[in-house]
Chains A and B, each alone.
Chain A
């Protein structure tokens, strides 16, 4: 387990199995995108490179901490907050 996984492991989540709140709108844009800023930007590593050429990015929405920053750096990301009661829970301030 690397250090980042340890950091993620201490966050409490109530994942929504039925509905994904972070989406890639068009995979074709990701295929052409050179910068892929989402890969480094996301504080909880929601966006990961995949091995499939058709769908270059995986969206691990269940570990999203809901800062909402991704939608501001990329128009191809459709972010909305999870449904009421789901998602991350912070306890420690």
Chain B
């Protein structure tokens, strides 16, 4: 009995020494533990389980998608290749038939819009989806493929044996540990698990954007009327210029079945130095003379904020480590503002690498590097590479969105306005007006810089 007492005391003491004591005896070991049940994590878990791996999927929210917000679209081709005919299974809000950009100033709006019936038949182009429905669908698929799913489990850090990742520590109240041959971190932008475990450096506030959103409920027929949509179809509108109050950033309107989402965002560093309150920026857009009529009578049902990594290709950290892969937003795999589709693909590639590793029972970084190779060879990295300099361009030309949306609107105004002056004189007048906003050489240099970046 004394011996038992002594042993018990010893355990307590060793717990005190370091708050994380790794105890691998009598614990079930999984093939893979996936941290985060978002598009990346759930896809990775699904494709791993499909290939026969024993997968544990952990989510800190009470259900998938509980911790994230922001209007989003699912790109049909990207998703269809991974989940054939997903539109029959996943609850999509509207089929996007109209894609528009509104270049705005405080009193004007220059719009470019394209809509086509070609987008309204399979294989479609884009869908608007609610995150909760999308994430739940992916997790359900994973579960039916054999994944063990746990929500309300928050991973605090990765457990290592030397440099080899061997498991994860769950924060209180569960305080459990789970062990696996491979750990997949899919914990989203601002990946604190990876940062705390010293796998990636802290994200720079210039490379991460804060988005705020509001969901406004309107009857379906009112949405269709106001946005000039056919029954059941939707539109995605990008708003540029005015919405970000002089900074580079984007805003958008997504139409859902019976609600619309307005988002606006810019980099965290811009928000912090400008002193603009994010929700004030949002209500400023809602009060714009051409946006307000679209929202009349709508009730705000949810306000929220989230971050999106926008550093592009150069901000991608080291994503392959011994026994560990980083996927999705945590790996900064976001191109422009669309990351969901890339996240699902990164999950798919991680699954291929995990399967190969398991087959050879080799969980070294060298073997798992297949993940990075597959990514590099795919459209994911190639597109990110092509857009690599956009983040830098926005930092170099902080006036880009603001000034050129003003110039575009001024030009459109002057062209539309009918003067009692001869045509030739009007042309000279317009030219002088525009060059007074930005000197010709400066404008040429800006355009050259943009072209250089776009050409890749």
Contacts and interface: CB of A to CB of B under 8 A. Distances in A.
A7 to B, nearest CB: 4
Interface of A: 3-4, 6-8, 10-11, 14, 19, 37, 40-41, 43-44, 65-69, 72-73, 80-85, 87-93
A92 B302 contact: yes
A85 to B, nearest CB: 4
Contacts of B261: 92-93
Contacts of A88: 66-67, 304
Contacts of B62: 14, 85, 89
A90 B67 contact: yes
B153 A84 contact: yes
Range, interface on chain B: 35 or more
B167 to A, nearest CB: 17
A44 B213 CA distance: 12
A92 B300 contact: no
Contact of A44 (B72, B130, B151, B305): B305
B130 A92 contact: yes
Interface string B151-163: 1111010000000
Contacts of B278: 41, 43
Nearest to A91: B132
Contacts of A10: 300-303
B66 A89 contact: yes
Interface stretch (B169-177, B372-380, B436-444): B169-177
A2 to B, nearest CB: 11
A77 to B, nearest CB: 12
B132 A93 contact: yes
B210 A69 contact: yes
Contact of B69 (A80, A81, A90): A90
A67 to B, nearest CB: 5
A81 B154 contact: yes
A23 B345 CA distance: 36
B302 A67 contact: no
A10 B279 CA distance: 14
A37 B272 contact: yes
A34 to B, nearest CB: 12
Interface of B: 60-62, 65-72, 129-133, 151-154, 156, 170-174, 190, 192, 202-205, 208, 210, 212, 214-215, 256, 259, 261, 268-269, 271-273, 275-279, 283, 300-307
B61 A67 contact: no
B302 A40 contact: no
A66 B275 CA distance: 20
A35 B47 CA distance: 48
A40 B210 CA distance: 13
Contacts of B65: 90, 93
A4 B192 CA distance: 29
A91 B302 contact: yes
A19 B269 CA distance: 29
Nearest to B155: A84
Nearest to B67: A66
B305 A65 contact: yes
A75 to B, nearest CB: 10
B268 A69 contact: yes
B171 A84 contact: yes
B308 to A, nearest CB: 10
Given A69-B268, A93-B69, A93-B130, A83 B171 contact: yes
A81 B153 CA distance: 11
6 contacts: A66-B67, A69-B305, A73-B205, A81-B192, A84-B174, A85-B62
B290 to A, nearest CB: 20
Contact of A67 (B205, B273, B305): B305
A37 B276 CA distance: 10
A31 B30 CA distance: 49
A24 to B, nearest CB: 16
B132 A90 contact: yes
B33 to A, nearest CB: 15
A8 B282 CA distance: 14
